[in-house]
Amino acid sequence: MLKMDRLKLPMLAGFIYTFIIVFLGAIITSFMLAFTDTRESTLPSVVYIVNGLALFVGGFVSGKRGGEKGWYYGGMTGILYYLFIVLISFLGFDAKLGLSHLYYLLFAFLIAAFGGIIGVNLSKK
């Protein structure tokens, strides 16, 4: 039976942190494009960096809140975020699924799982 203190929903907390960081990264990137000489050709790199950072932090938060199995909570947070992004791109932009999406899924899982491992190990100190 589950204890009530374990019902913290670590993956939801990690997902919310991930989404907030991506949202703030999008705003900062928009300001950079509007008010500096930054070109739109740098956008793919910035998007990967912001998403990678957001996934790491989301995994970290979910691992820390979970208290154990950081790779699991972090990895599942990455998969949850990936599924959300795919759903938005599929419904909003009529994107097609391809082999490259499998690489993005793996990327999201690994980065967030690594964050979860770090989060669990730092929470026990």
Q: Is there a contact between 109 and 62 (Cβ–Cβ < 8 Å)?
A: no
Tell me the pLDDT tens digit for each residue of 78-114: 999 999 988 888 777 777 778 888 899 999 999 999 9
Round to whole Å and give the CA distance between 94 and 121.
Answer: 41
Cβ atoms within 10 Å, residue 74 = 35
Measured between alpha carbons, how far is 60 from 83 in angstroms, rounded to an integer?
19
What is the C-alpha to C-alpha distance for residues 115 and 68, in angstroms, rounded to an integer? Answer: 13
List the structure tokens of 56: 């790491």
Does the structure show a pLDDT above 90 at 54?
A: yes
pTM assigned to the model: 0.84
Kindly give the residue spans of alpha helices, DSSP state H, lying in the chain. Answer: 10-35, 43-66, 70-93, 99-123
Task: Give dist(CA 55, CA 74) in Å, integer.
Answer: 8
Confidence at residue 24, expressed as pLDDT on a 0 to 100 scale: 96
Whether the per-residue pLDDT at 25 is higher than 70: the answer is yes
Mean pLDDT for all residues in the chain: 86
